[in-house]
């Protein structure tokens, strides 16, 4: 607590002659009192937990025995550095798990690269459509938003039925695909599910962004004789840039952490085709007979680092030469 | 500070991952319950006033809650115990949701119950990390004899001559067969003396792939396939679990025999007919034979009451009988403050009287040898076949410290053969290599 308070200007309780300043200080104090309950929860359950997890990432810990200091061994085992080198047939077994570099990381990157652009473009198109003066516009907006307010576990279970071999999807398109049990299709099924559930929320954000663009600019463009496409290309999309940055960032972080749909629908199978980094963390931390809490914690921090790097790269790309502004 | 840290253990990684917190185990209330009310057989409500002795030992008991009926039965047995032992208070704290996750985190925070369920599959890790209390002395004090229990069960919960748990119930695999489909195909029903050849011939005769009917269910399930390895004279792990034998020639032979059923279309996996579990497929009459445990009996009674089926012990292979034992024991935590009282609770729960009650309700098979001649088993041939399995060359379902990895790799090896047409020996070799890597990891 003391730390938080001391970040404010040094003389919080010093006598101030200026009544303006005094008012400001008392406002700040009130604000902190209001923030206190949240700060307490935040510090114990987020800051402390992350700190302790960071400590655990340098230990060997199976929950049954106290953690034992292990240095960087956990990180080495996650990255499985030796596995990156060619090894002979009869080489002794490696003391590491190459599931991360061989399956979880490529799967997660693939998932992100497919889902993020798809859901962004789809929700942008939806937002444009909903921005027009359509009949039943409100009804459509509600329908598109509905999946986003439904529990992801419930939607996952519904999708399990929809995509079962005798399910409605196969019947409708006259297919005979075992969507969730075939390593070739299982991951794509989950991608479809994710695009379906998130597009509604992203549409709403884009819609807010669209309605934020001042009409004066459009009017000016129409006076200058710009056609619809030019308006879209030179006004709407550039003006939406901060919103696009937000949507892509949120989507990116969400995709890298995709977990619940996989937990419910496939448990990482078949043949690890749907094992993602977040699911692998869960598996190591809780599923194994001998749990690897330290290794799981190490992977959590590696994942955080990956997300940070990807967000920075993407910020570069979207910013381009111009500036993103307040986003 | 240390205990404070321990409290947060369950929360830290979870909050990182899910940004959602799980409530920590609620501290047990200090209040002693004076009146115990239990709903018995739906309508009869029994209330017993218990006299309050000066000092009462508290025993916390935890297990997974399989079903409301089973929980009610356990509570009624515990009520009888309380009446007979007024100096002990049993606090029953069933765990819903992920049992192992919650049990392990409660051990990490030092708030685990005195007595809890221990699955044989998880047993090795708990013994190695010295979580469980050796109970030989307590058993002697309480008058519990090892010889009273089915040897393969009590041995499963022993390590280096030390007993750690009293088996509570068990299951083995039986060959469930659909009598109507056998009659239709005009072949003789299986007997306990069947062999692999009989099984293969029957599966071929029963199959009708055009109508989605298959002779035998051969799922990529690590809880079914190992019995074929045993029947072929092999094993999944070495005696001390320090290496796997999954890529040994006998295991490869067994896997070839097992997976050939699907190759020849005389067998199938549940996913082939759009199901997740072969029990459902069997109930629907699409698999004529499946290897399942006693859990299938109540399921069929509820979901498919019209099915006409029988159960025999698994057909013998070239090297004789082989079966798996799935068993659960009551164990005591090393941190328990009242180990004597805990042992008395366990003794009561596994007594002949209590086990007869459980047996007659149809939930589980008893672990006491004396109950093998009980009336219930005589009048229920299906349960009797599952019970006999434990006495005929069955081995516990346990693969050492890396059990979940062995299971996973076995399942994947079969999936690769089924879904990617990988050669059997190559697939098992790949699985064995990963298992060796996992063993090296936990060393």
The total of other beta-carbon atoms located within 10 Å of residue A133's CB is 5
Coil, strand or helix: which one is B62?
strand
Question: What mean pLDDT value characterizes chain A?
Answer: 84
- Are both B258 and B208 inside the same structural domain? yes
Tens-digit pLDDT profile for residues A261-307? 898 888 887 888 899 999 999 999 988 888 889 999 999 999 999 99
Tell me which residue of A282, A67, A52 sits closest to B8, measured CA to CA.
A52
Domain boundary (B353, B382, B411) is at B382
Q: Which residue pairs, CB below 8 angstroms and at least 24 apart, start in A259-262?
A: A259/B17, A259/B18, A260/A152, A260/A153, A260/A156, A261/A152, A261/A155, A261/A156, A261/A159, A261/A190, A261/A193, A261/A194, A262/A190
Dig out the tokens for A105 from the structure: 């990381």
Alpha carbon of A1: minimum distance to chain B alpha carbons (Å): 18
pLDDT reported for residue B392:
82
- Cβ B101 vs Cβ A286: under 8 Å: yes
Residues B185 and B60 in one domain: no
Q: Average pLDDT of A307-311? A: 89
A131 to chain B, closest Cα gap in Å: 34
Same domain for B112 and B165, yes or no, is yes
For helices A137-149 and A105-131, what crossing angle results, to 10°? 160
From chain A residues 214-243, the ones with a CB under 8 A of any chain B CB are none
CATH code for the domain of B352: 3.40.190.10
Strand partners, B95: B64
pLDDT, residue B5, reads: 44
The answer to whether A271 contacts B419, with C-beta atoms less than 8 Å apart, is yes
Does A36 lie in the same domain as A124? Answer: no
* Under 8 Å between Cβ of B398 and B124: yes
CA distance A83 to A73: 15
Asked if residue A110 belongs to a domain, the reply is yes
Q: Please indicate, yes or no, whether residues B296 and B429 belong to a single structural domain of this protein.
A: yes
Centroid of chain to Cα B397: 8
Both tokens assigned to A191? 């991608």
Same domain, A308 and A219: yes
How do strand B165-172 and strand B323-332 relate by DSSP bridges?
A: antiparallel
Contact B121 A289 (CB under 8 A): yes
Q: Are A30 and A121 found together in one domain?
A: no
Q: A198-215: per-residue pLDDT in tens?
A: 888 898 899 899 888 888
Q: Distance, in angstroms, between A104 CA and closest chain B CA?
A: 15
Number of domains making up chain A: 2
Stretches where chain B sits below pLDDT 70 are 1-54
Amino acid A242: pLDDT: 86
CB burial of A51-64 (b: ≥16 within 10 Å; e: otherwise) equals ebbebbbbbbbbbb
Count Cβ atoms below 10 Å from residue B85 Cβ, excluding itself.
Answer: 19
In this structure, are A24 and A137 located in the same domain? Answer: no
Number of inter-chain CB pairs under 8 A, A vs B = 117
φ, ψ for residue A136 (rounded to 5)?
Answer: 55, 30
Which structure tokens are listed for A73?
């061994």
Instruction: Please indicate, yes or no, whether residues A142 and A42 belong to a single structural domain of this protein.
Output: no
B226 with B407: CB under 8 angstroms? no
CA distance A92 to B286: 45
Closest CA to A120 of A193, A202, A187: A202
8 Å CB contact between A75 and A57: yes
Q: Residue A298's domain is classified under what CATH number? A: 1.10.3720.10
The pLDDT score that the predictor gives to residue B124 is: 92
Residue B292 sits in the same domain as residue B316: yes
B153 domain-assigned: yes
By residue range, what is the domain housing residue A8? Answer: 2-56
B38 domain residue, yes or no: no
pLDDT on residue A160: 87
Q: Determine contact: A166 vs chain B, CB below 8 A.
A: yes
A47 with A106, same domain?
no
DSSP B244: B
For residue range A13-68, list pLDDT tens digits in order.
Answer: 555 567 788 888 888 999 989 999 999 999 999 999 999 999 999 999 988 888 98
Task: Mark whether A44 and A150 lie in a shared domain.
Answer: no
Residues in B touching A166 (Cβ below 8 Å): 274
Query: Is position B87 within any domain?
Result: yes
Closest to A165 (Cα-Cα) out of B273, B262, B286: B273
pLDDT at position B437 is 87
Distances (CA, A) of B151 to B395, B396, B439: 11, 11, 29
Q: How many independent structural domains does chain B possess?
A: 2
CB of A186 less than 8 A from some CB of B:
no
Shared domain check, B433 and B301: yes
Residue B335 lies in a domain: yes
Query: How confident is the model at residue B27, as a pLDDT?
Result: 35
Contact between chains at B17 and A281 (C-beta distance less than 8 A): yes
Closest-CA residue to B323 (of B111, B219, B170): B170
Six-digit token string for B324: 């798996």
Structural contact between residues B14 and B21, judged by C-beta atoms closer than 8 angstroms:
yes
> Of A202, A213, A205, nearest to A237 (Cα)?
A213
Of A109, A118, A190, give the one whose Cα is nearest residue A156: A190
Residues of B in contact with A265 (CB under 8 A): none
Q: Are residues B86 and B218 in the same domain?
A: no
Cβ–Cβ gap B271/A95 under 8 Å: no
The reply to whether A107 and A46 lie within a common domain is no
Residue identified by tokens 């074929």 is: B228
Clarify whether residues A167 and A306 are in a common domain.
Answer: yes
- Residues A225, A120 share a domain: yes
- Say yes or no: A276 and A147 in one domain: yes
Closest residue in A to B417 (Cα–Cα): A271
Q: A45: which chain B residues are within 8 Å (Cβ-Cβ)? A: 11, 15, 21
Residue of chain A whose alpha carbon sits nearest to that of B7: A49
Query: Both B96 and B200 in a single domain?
Result: no
- Note whether residue A115 is domain-resident: yes
Q: Which residues of A touch B112 (CB under 8 A)?
A: none
Q: Which residue range(s) make up the domain with B356?
A: 55-171+326-382
Torsion sign across C-alpha atoms A67, A71, A75, A81? negative
């Amino acid at each position: 607590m003391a730390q938080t308070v001391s970040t404010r200007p040094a003389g919080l309780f010093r006598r101030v002659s200026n009544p303006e300043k005094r008012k400001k200080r008392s406002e700040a104090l009130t604000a902190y009192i209001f923030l206190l309950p949240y700060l307490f929860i935040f510090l114990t359950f987020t800051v402390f937990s992350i700190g302790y997890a960071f400590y655990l990432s340098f230990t060997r810990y199976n929950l049954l025995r106290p953690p034992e200091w292990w240095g960087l061994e956990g990180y080495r085992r996650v990255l499985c550095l030796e596995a990156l080198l060619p090894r002979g047939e009869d080489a002794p077994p490696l003391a590491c798990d190459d599931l991360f570099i061989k399956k979880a990381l490529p799967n997660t990157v693939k998932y992100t690269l497919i889902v993020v652009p798809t859901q962004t473009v789809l929700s942008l198109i939806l937002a444009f459509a909903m921005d027009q003066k359509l009949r039943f516009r409100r009804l459509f907006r509600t329908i598109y938003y509905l999946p986003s307010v439904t529990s992801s576990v419930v939607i996952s279970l519904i999708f399990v039925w929809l995509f079962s071999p005798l399910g409605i999807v196969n019947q409708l398109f006259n297919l005979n695909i075992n969507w969730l049990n075939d390593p070739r299709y299982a991951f794509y099924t989950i991608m479809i599910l994710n695009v379906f559930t998130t597009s509604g929320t992203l549409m709403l954000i884009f819609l807010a962004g669209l309605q934020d663009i001042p009409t004066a600019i459009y009017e000016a463009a129409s006076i200058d004789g710009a056609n619809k496409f030019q308006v879209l290309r030179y006004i709407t999309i550039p003006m939406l840039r901060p919103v696009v940055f937000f949507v892509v960032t949120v989507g990116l972080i969400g995709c890298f952490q995709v977990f619940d749909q996989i937990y419910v629908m496939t448990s990482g199978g078949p043949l690890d085709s749907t094992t993602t980094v977040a699911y692998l963390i869960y598996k190591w931390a809780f599923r194994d007979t001998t749990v690897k809490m330290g290794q799981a914690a190490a992977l959590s921090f590696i994942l955080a680092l990956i997300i940070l790097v990807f967000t920075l790269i993407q910020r570069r790309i979207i910013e381009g030469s111009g500036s993103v502004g307040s986003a | 500070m240390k205990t404070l840290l321990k409290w947060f253990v369950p929360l830290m990684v979870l909050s990182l991952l899910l940004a959602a917190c799980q409530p920590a185990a609620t501290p047990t209330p200090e209040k002693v319950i004076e009146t115990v009310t239990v709903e018995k057989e739906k309508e009869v409500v029994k209330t017993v006033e218990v006299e309050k002795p000066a000092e009462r030992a508290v025993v916390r008991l935890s297990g997974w809650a399989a079903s409301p009926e089973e929980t009610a039965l356990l509570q009624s047995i515990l009520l009888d115990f309380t009446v007979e032992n007024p100096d002990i208070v049993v606090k029953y704290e069933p765990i819903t949701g992920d049992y192992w996750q919650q049990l392990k985190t409660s051990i990490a925070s030092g708030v685990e119950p005195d007595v809890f369920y221990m699955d044989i599959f998880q047993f090795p890790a708990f013994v190695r990390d010295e979580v469980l209390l050796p109970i030989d002395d307590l058993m002697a004090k309480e008058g519990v004899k090892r010889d009273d229990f089915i040897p393969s069960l009590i041995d499963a919960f022993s390590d280096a001559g030390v007993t750690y748990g009293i088996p509570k119930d068990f299951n083995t695999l039986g060959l469930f067969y659909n009598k109507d489909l056998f009659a239709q195909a005009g072949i003789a029903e299986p007997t306990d003396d069947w062999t692999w050849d009989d099984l293969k011939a029957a599966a071929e005769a029963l199959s009708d792939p055009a109508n989605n009917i298959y002779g035998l269910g051969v799922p990529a399930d690590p809880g079914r396939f190992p019995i074929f390895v045993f029947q072929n004279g092999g094993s999944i792990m070495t005696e001390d679990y320090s290496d796997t034998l999954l890529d040994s020639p006998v295991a490869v032979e067994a896997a070839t025999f097992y997976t050939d059923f699907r190759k020849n279309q005389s067998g199938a996996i549940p996913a082939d007919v759009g199901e997740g579990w072969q029990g459902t497929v069997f109930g629907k009459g699409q698999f004529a034979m499946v290897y399942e445990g006693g859990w299938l009996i109540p399921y069929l009674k509820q979901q498919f009451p019209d099915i006409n089926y029988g159960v025999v012990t698994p057909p013998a292979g070239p090297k004789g009988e082989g079966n798996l034992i799935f068993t659960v024991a009551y164990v005591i935590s090393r941190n328990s403050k009242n180990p004597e009282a805990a042992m008395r609770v366990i003794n009561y729960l596994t007594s002949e009287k209590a086990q007869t009650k459980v047996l007659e309700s149809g939930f589980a098979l008893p672990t006491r040898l004396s109950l093998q001649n009980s009336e219930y088993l005589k009048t229920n041939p299906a349960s009797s076949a599952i019970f006999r399995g434990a006495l005929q060359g069955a081995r516990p379902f346990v693969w050492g410290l890396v059990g979940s990895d062995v299971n996973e790799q076995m399942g994947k090896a079969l999936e690769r053969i089924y879904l990617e047409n990988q050669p059997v020996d190559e697939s098992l070799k790949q699985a064995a290599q990963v298992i060796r890597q996992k063993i090296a990891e936990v060393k």
